[in-house]
Chain A
Amino acid sequence: AQSVTQLGSHVSVSEGALVLLRCNYSSSVPPYLFWYVQYPNQGLQLLLKYTSAATLVKGINGFEAEFKKSETSFHLTKPSAHMSDAAEYFCAVSGGWAGGTSYGKLTFGQGTILTVHP
């Protein structure tokens, strides 16, 4: 079984400040990890994904994430927050769960709402 834990349901930063959203995973097999963003009243959009090619993954809108196997983490960062970054962010791992079969099914974390203050 695989699981994802996002530390902090709400994160608030000032415009121009560093954004750090935390994600830890649990997996019995090498994981594939994703970050999705959800803007208000919209569906989810892929920010970036880790597929074992490189541990530092760059995504859209200036976001990046680093896969750290020793820490079982895949934290999302952005050097300078913009007002347009305000959204809910989801970390997800690809794989199955107990009793299921694994295809491209995603297991999501609880989500982190990012607020950006002027």
Chain B
Amino acid sequence: NAGVTQTPKFQVLKTGQSMTLQCAQDMNHEYMSWYRQDPGMGLRLIHYSVGAGITDQGEVPNGYNVSRSTTEDFPLRLLSAAPSQTSVYFCASSWDYLSSTDTQYFGPGTRLTVL
């Protein structure tokens, strides 16, 4: 049971490039989400999904795209990278998307630098 996995661990992009951050979980969780972590700002929700084929925007969705074709995978796409997207990105998952008390499990993060 690997839990939540993310690839790559580190990435450097040039402004305007696109890329996909990968996230997978093997716990059969319905709910998956992406956060970005910036110093002094905690974690902010980018996008989330309550099941395969269903996604919605979080607090800071601009410049990012997601899709959920399977229960296991939830990739995050940067359409045209900007220096403001330099951050650490975390993927998280939980079992019950209707529960406000369910524990969310986090991946190890992807550290992204945009030059």
Interface residue ranges, A against B (CB under 8 Å): 4, 6, 9, 32, 36, 41-46, 49, 51, 90, 92, 94-95, 97, 100-111
B1 CB–A CB distance under 8 Å: no
Nearest B-chain residue to A43, judged by Cβ: B106
Q: Which of B13-21, B69-77, B79-87, B89-97 touches A?
A: B89-97
Query: Could you tell me the distance between the alpha carbons of A103 and B35 in the complex, rounded to whole angstroms?
Result: 15
Q: Beyond A42-B108, A43-B4, A44-B106, is A102–B100 a contact (Cβ under 8 Å)? A: yes
The interface on chain B, measured as residues whose beta carbon lies within 8 A of the other chain's beta carbons, has a size of 31
Q: State whether B90 touches A44 (Cβ < 8 A).
A: yes
A34 vs chain B, min Cβ distance (A): 8
Query: Could you tell me the distance between the alpha carbons of A36 and B4 in the complex, rounded to whole angstroms?
Result: 16
Query: Could you tell me the distance between the alpha carbons of A44 and B90 in the complex, rounded to whole angstroms?
Result: 9
A60 vs chain B, min Cβ distance (A): 12
A100 vs chain B, min Cβ distance (A): 8
